[in-house]
Structure 1
Amino acid sequence: MSAARAIGLMLGLAADGALGDPRKRPPVTAFRRVAPGRTGLVLAGAAVAAGALAERSGRGRPVVQAAATAVTTWAVVGATGLVAQGTELARDLEEGRLAPARTTLSELDPRVSDGLATVGLSRASVETLAENTSEVVVAPLLWGAVAGVPGLLASRTLGVLRRAAPGNWVIARLDELVHLLPTRAAAALTVVAAPVVGGSAGGAWRAWRRDTIAHPSPNAGRVEAAFAGALEIRVGGRTVYPEGVVELPVLGVGRNPDAGHVTRAVELSRVVGWLAAGTSVLLAAAAGLRRRTPH
């Protein structure tokens, strides 16, 4: 059955590329509207339960499982939208249009963007591209490969809930647990992808292993550090959120980022997404072959 899951992942990714920006998709936008309310966690649990039911109904029916996986992958994976928004950011920063850049950044990241100049917006753009590559591309794909439709839904809905309710301890801990391995997988894929965009694999590896030790979160900063090392720039530091100012460790070494680094970060995100897609399909297919192998 995991072969059907692998086919579903491929079809869903093809739909993501063909149908474009997930900001225009009803499943994503509808959940974002209700997530800030008290019913957000309940609705997320109901969505995962429905996903488990769909996965169960597909057992022994490869076409049903592939279709359910494809539709869910299309609904939750945000690779195309992330690249589109990153391209908007890079173009606006290159042309000095800071107000539109702040607007686009606010769609991707909860930090306060008012008052950020070109360097601050470039740094924030690289950071959010890295974080979202892990959260909306790598994590759902890997969970989809190992847990099917429920894995896809759980990974994505928890990420939305965490951003909608940043002070909720339960949601934050669940999100950390679900993304514990995917963030490290995303950082590892960044190391592999770095040379493809003219970056430094060694720099990505060193920044990931060296600079995230001081980070207060078990997950946040891993992929950001790898992106910074790959692009040979510095990110991190003082960051303003609606709930207050956070002093984060500096990640990477080198110069401050500019619009050109944002463009390269978009390409790096794209390549990491391709690698994550190939990895997830192989994982799902390998799981199916292992189940068929007699012991």
Structure 2
Amino acid sequence: MRVATGLLLGYAADRLLGDPRHFHPVAGFGRIAMALEAHTHAPSRVRGVVHVGALVGAATAAGMLADHLAGRVGDPGMGRDVGRVAITAVATWAVLGGRSLEREALTIQRQLAAGDLDAARRQVRNLVGRDPSRLSADEVARATVESVAENGADALVAPLWWGAVAGVPGLVAYRAINTLDAMIGHRSPRYREFGWAAARLDDVANWIPARLTVLSTAAATGSVAGVRRVLMTVARDAPAHPSPNAGPVEAAFAAALGVSLGGSNSYAGIVEDRGRLGDGPAVTVDDLGSAVRLERRIGLIALGVIVAARSAAARRVVSRRRARRAR
């Protein structure tokens, strides 16, 4: 039960505090990755595999060491469990980004509501990789809603999933993978080959969490009709999106909100068509508050499912051990 308890406490810390404001471990990992890239970068997939393997391997080893050391704190039994609950909670807090994502979206909402489009364009750079310099207010709102959907899966559901699967090592390994994808996993001339491994590994790591996010989004509608609408929209529209994970998540989000997402976006001068996701009207500034509230419900539903599944698995393991001892 220590992992489930740690996930719950870490989630609560993220909701109350948001990201650590100083000495954020993810920011530190990013600086290390940039320093290593100066030595490993080349337009080569093999070099990219080595770069990603070294960084993810080091992060996983650090997570394993931290978990091991925490397990040695205190007296045998419950005392040591307290140490492992604590390190799981701290790691969960450090890798989750739900509260900070929400703050960014609400800041953009306030800027747009006040008519400060330039400020909103600058703020949205914290969330998206597209060029916002010529976006209208409604296009900035669409970019924000799409980021809330996609990054909600990446920064909330996926870390919880990998924490449940593999504890502290799973939490830090996933965050390393996702951070590297954000840094180098795009199709710019510099990273088209070097970043290939980061992008593909992130696709694999997010495949199950993205589908869990879709199901949580369907459940968040609160009705059978809503569930049906979300699942049908995902089946119909997600294949048009170039990402195997963002497509289903954004299509589900669009259906749950009753809006349309997707369209053409410009990334460093490269225009990418993401298809039309959903049947509703285009996103407006008024939809940002609804998007944030939907993301909160999705996070709570996914947390409940993940923690319940982890707790059930832990109880089965304990029961099997007791059965073996009784023989």
Q: What's the TM-score, normalizing by structure 1?
A: 0.91
Q: Does 1:270 align with 2:296?
A: yes
The residue that corresponds to 1:26 in the other structure is: 24
Matches of 1:155 and 1:35, distance apart in 2: 15
* Secondary structure class of the residue paired with 1:71: helix
Q: How has the CA–CA distance of structure 1 residues 250 and 96 changed in structure 2, closer, same or farther, with 3 Å as cutoff?
A: same
The residue that corresponds to 1:208 in the other structure is: 234
Q: How has the CA–CA distance of structure 1 residues 253 and 265 changed in structure 2, closer, same or farther, with 3 Å as cutoff?
A: same
Q: How has the CA–CA distance of structure 1 residues 195 and 94 changed in structure 2, closer, same or farther, with 3 Å as cutoff?
A: farther
Query: Quick one: which of 123, 136, 158 aligns to 1:117?
Result: 136
The residue that corresponds to 2:163 in the other structure is: 144
Deviates further, 231-240 or 58-67: 58-67
Equivalent residues in 2 for 1:178-197, closer than 5 Å: 178-195=205-222
Deviates further, 99-108 or 251-260: 99-108
Work out the number of aligned pairs and report it.
291
Q: How has the CA–CA distance of structure 1 residues 225 and 132 changed in structure 2, closer, same or farther, with 3 Å as cutoff?
A: same
Query: Quick one: which of 12, 15, 18 aligns to 1:14?
Result: 12
Q: Does 1:170 align with 2:189?
A: no
- Structure 2 residue identity aligned to 1:217: S
Query: Quick one: which of 230, 243, 247 aligns to 2:273?
Result: 247
The residue that corresponds to 2:62 in the other structure is: 50
- Structure 1 residue identity aligned to 2:285: A
Q: How has the CA–CA distance of structure 1 residues 35 and 240 changed in structure 2, closer, same or farther, with 3 Å as cutoff?
A: farther
Q: How has the CA–CA distance of structure 1 residues 230 and 243 changed in structure 2, closer, same or farther, with 3 Å as cutoff?
A: same
- Structure 2 residue identity aligned to 1:186: T
* Secondary structure class of the residue paired with 2:286: helix
* Structure whose alpha-carbon radius of gyration is higher: 2
Contact 2:206–2:245 under 8 Å retained in 1: yes
* Secondary structure class of the residue paired with 1:239: strand
Deviates further, 25-34 or 103-112: 25-34
Query: Quick one: which of 245, 249, 257 aligns to 1:223?
Result: 249
Q: How has the CA–CA distance of structure 1 residues 16 and 155 changed in structure 2, closer, same or farther, with 3 Å as cutoff?
A: same
Q: Does 1:108 align with 2:127?
A: yes
Contact 1:22–1:78 under 8 Å retained in 2: no
Contact 1:200–1:231 under 8 Å retained in 2: no
* Secondary structure class of the residue paired with 2:246: coil
Structure with bigger RCO (C-alpha 8 Å, 6+ apart) = 1
Q: What's the TM-score, normalizing by structure 2?
A: 0.83
Matches of 1:25 and 1:82, distance apart in 2: 19
- Deviation of residue 100 (structure 1)? 1.9
Matches of 2:211 and 2:289, distance apart in 1: 23
- Deviation of residue 183 (structure 1)? 0.5
Matches of 1:17 and 1:289, distance apart in 2: 28
Structure 2: give runs of 5+ residues left out of the alignment. 38-50
- Deviation of residue 22 (structure 1)? 4.5
- Structure 2 residue identity aligned to 1:98: L
Matches of 2:95 and 2:300, distance apart in 1: 16
Structure 1: give runs of 5+ residues left out of the alignment. none
Q: Does 1:292 align with 2:315?
A: no
Q: How has the CA–CA distance of structure 1 residues 162 and 187 changed in structure 2, closer, same or farther, with 3 Å as cutoff?
A: same
Matches of 2:13 and 2:110, distance apart in 1: 26
Contact 2:26–2:175 under 8 Å retained in 1: no
